[in-house]
Amino acid sequence: MEIAGRRLALSNLEKPFYPASGFTKAEVVDYYRRIAACMVPHLRDRAVTLKRYPEGVSGPFFFEKRCPSHHPDWVRTAEVRHQGETLSACLVNELASLIWVANLAAIELHCPLARAASPETPDALVFDLDPGEPADVLSCARVALILRQLLSRLHLASLVKTSGRKGLHVFVPLNRPETSFEATKTFSRTVALSLQNNYPGLVTAKMAKEERHGRVFINWSQNDAAKTMICAYSLRGVEQATVSCPLAWEELEQLAAAEDPEKLRFSPGEVVRRAEQSGDLFAEVLMREQRLPHL
Amino acid sequence: MAQQGIWSGTVSFSLVAIPVRVVRAVTPGRISFRLLHRTDYSPLARRMFCPQHQTLVPPEEIVRGYEIEPGRYIPITDEELESVTPERSRTIEIVDFIDLDEVDPLYFDRPYYLLPLKGGEKSYRLLAEVMHQTNKAGLAKFVLAEREHLVAVKSNEGALLLVTLHYHSELLAADASTPKEIRGSAAETSRIKGSIRKMLAEFDPGKYADARREKVRELLQRKAREQAPVTSPHLEAAEEAGPPDLVAALEEIMREVKQQR
């Protein structure tokens, strides 16, 4: 078939990728086609890590940082350093590239916080909120809302998306050339420790499993050149097809008040509808310039 | 143990210039303690508190004020203070040589050693020797730690010693509490003279030690042997507390956020 002037062959489209609901590979590819306008800006110029599920979400998966060598010549790549070696990573800068990686059964797309050309300059800071059972996404919502208030008092705008699994991701757009991972890590760690000290029953800043039980772990260490985050609008490889979905803060307030964790799960169909109605709620992450205070 | 210098430059007078560095000659010698939270031994931090607003004050909201009378202040900025801070000097310029016996010990403040740097050993030794023979000391102005000091450079067993001197205006007069006229009988005078003679000794500073410090040290050593030290819970977190300004700002915001919720 031909997409935006690029020729590519799609395969095994009838294969159920989410067997629990019968959601097929064709539907996965179609979801990515329909969300591309919102999603591609978040992928552009980043060394994408593909999480591939060749047999669907119930089968084995593998992470692929290296762009498969058989890629069409119009799929752009970037040389990146990874664990001491240089490798060539895919850049998903246009619709056709997104469809091509979707056809590779890359259900999940993970991105670094920096662009490939400036790998040491994060253009956003992230608070990765991960609930330890029995804490859930509602506990994360509580923490996210406190974080938002805290950040706004520091004159920092923030945005939130679901992880598509059980957590939430709070992003602070920076988009300034002088930002370093050292700064974003110090800042996020300090904020995480402060939250931990003030809400010891709700929050932990520590990786240790026993500390995370019943609490929300703020994984500040994601602010690192070597780490990747699930891209906004990526599908997740869980039983039911869900998406890492950007939310408006007011929406999160209402959903948290409703106390139904199911309401914080978004299916591909809902996400496409939301995008048609409200556009990209995460667009500000790529544009707003902010400076971290008090460092 | 080689001490780290706190200043280096030259001692100079007329046409002589001796490269030297300045090291401390005394340590405060106090045993210091950390303040801990009794409940879990977390180390405590000092924060500025505003009693008027019942709130912690972040660094950017703190200014200096000189109190002219209770409740009335002249605010002064860091820039203003900096504008009157003397430049760090590169030389200890001896302007006068004086007789050491003329200096009242009241003026002596802090002693430092002057140590010769490469190329200065010969003139250093010569100056120390001559000042020792003549019992003279050099007077100089010297900027140390942003303050201009009047200092005496004197000889001390082959080494040069620098002693900062109190300014005349810093000395307090003793006349308020000492009796003006001395009226003692000849018998009383000779009795006191006799006592002093009997108690006369060579000054042996090693004989005197700070008894309390020794006792505190012994106490600590005994406790360390007898029981394991306590550990603060978030040692890792405390060490990595983060930039103080950010920590202070967060604590203040957090307090308000909690009140609202």
Domain annotation covers residue B124? yes
For residues A52 and A106, give the distance between their C-alpha atoms in angstroms, rounded to a whole number. 4
Q: How confident is the model at residue A117 (pLDDT cuts 50, 70, 90)?
A: very high
Mean pLDDT of A114-123: 95
Instruction: Tell whether the model's pLDDT for residue A99 goes beyond 90.
Output: yes
Chain A residue numbers touching B250 (CB-CB < 8 A): 150, 190-191, 194
Chain A CB within 8 Å of residue B246 CB: yes
Which one of B42, B254, B256, B257 would you mutate to disrupt binding with A, by most A Cβ within 10 Å of its Cβ?
B254
Residues 6+ apart with CB under 8 A from B56: B47, B48, B49, B50, B248, B251, B252, B255
Whether B163 has a pLDDT exceeding 80, the answer reads yes
Partner A contacted by B240 (CB < 8 A): yes
Find the CB nearest A294 among B234, B241, B246.
B246
Structural domain for B115, as ranges: 7-30+86-169
A-chain residue closest to B241, CA distance: A190
Residue B179: the pLDDT is: 65
Task: Give me the helices (H) in B26-117, please.
Answer: 78-83
In a 13 Å sphere around the CA of B35, the CA atoms on its Cβ side amount to 3
Comparing A288 with B54, the larger pLDDT belongs to: A288
Q: How far apart are CA A53 and CA A103, in angstroms?
A: 11
d(CA B167, CA A274): 77
Give contacts of A153 with chain B, Cβ < 8 Å.
Answer: 253, 256-257
Q: Where are the alpha helices (H) located in chain A, listed in sequence order?
A: 25-43, 95-103, 137-153, 181-198, 209-212, 249-258, 268-278, 284-287
Domains and CATH numbers, chain A: 2-117+227-237 (3.90.920.10)
Is B125 inside any structural domain?
yes
Residue B145 lies in a domain: yes
Q: What is the DSSP string of A237-277?
A: -SSS--B--EE-HHHHHHHHHHT-GGGG---HHHHHHHHHH
Answer whether residue B218 is part of any domain. Answer: no
Range A63-91 average pLDDT: 90
List the CATH number of the domain containing B21: 2.40.290.10
Q: Which residues of A touch B (CB under 8 A)?
A: 146, 149-150, 153-154, 186-187, 189-191, 193-198, 205, 293-295
Q: What angle do CA B158, B164, B168 make, to 5 degrees?
A: 135
Read off φ and ψ for residue B123, nearest 5 degrees: -70, -30
Decide if B65 is inside a domain: no
Q: Is residue B44 part of a domain?
A: no
pTM above 0.90, yes or no: no
pLDDT tens-digit readout, A177-198: 999 999 999 999 999 999 999 9
Residue among A149, A187, A198 minimizing CB distance to B246: A187
| Alpha carbon distance A97, A43 (integer Å) | 11
Per residue in A101-112, pLDDT (tens digit) is 999 999 999 999
Reported as a single tens digit per residue, the pLDDT across A22-43 is 999 999 999 999 999 999 999 9
Give B238's pLDDT tier (boundaries 50, 70, 90): very low
Q: Would you say A185 and A220 are in contact if contact means Cβ atoms under 8 Å apart?
A: yes
Look at residue B164 and tell me if it is in a domain: yes
Most confident of the ranges A271-280, B26-35, B97-106: A271-280
Give B253's contacts in chain A (Cβ within 8 Å). 150, 153-154
What is the per-residue pLDDT for B170?
Answer: 86
Nearest to B250 among A190, A205, A295 (CB): A190
User: With contacts defined as CB-CB under 8 Å, which chain A residues touch B247?
Assistant: 190, 194
Weakest mean pLDDT among A63-67, A151-155, B115-119, B255-259: B255-259
pLDDT above 70 covers what percent of chain B?
92
Residue B146 half-sphere exposure toward CB, CA atoms < 13 A: 5
What sign does the CA torsion over A191, A197, A198, A199 have?
A: positive
Backbone CA torsion sign across B23, B26, B29, B34? negative
Asked if residue B140 is part of any domain, the answer here is yes
Q: Compare CB distances from A186 to B243, B251, B254 and report the shortest one's residue.
A: B243
Confidence of residue B69 (pLDDT cuts 50, 70, 90): confident
Name chain A contacts of B234, Cβ cutoff 8 Å. 197
Can you tell me the ipTM of this complex?
0.87
Contacts of B249 in chain A (CB under 8 A): 154, 293-294
In this predicted model, which residue has the larger pLDDT, A29 or B248?
A29
Contact A292, A156 (CB under 8 A): yes
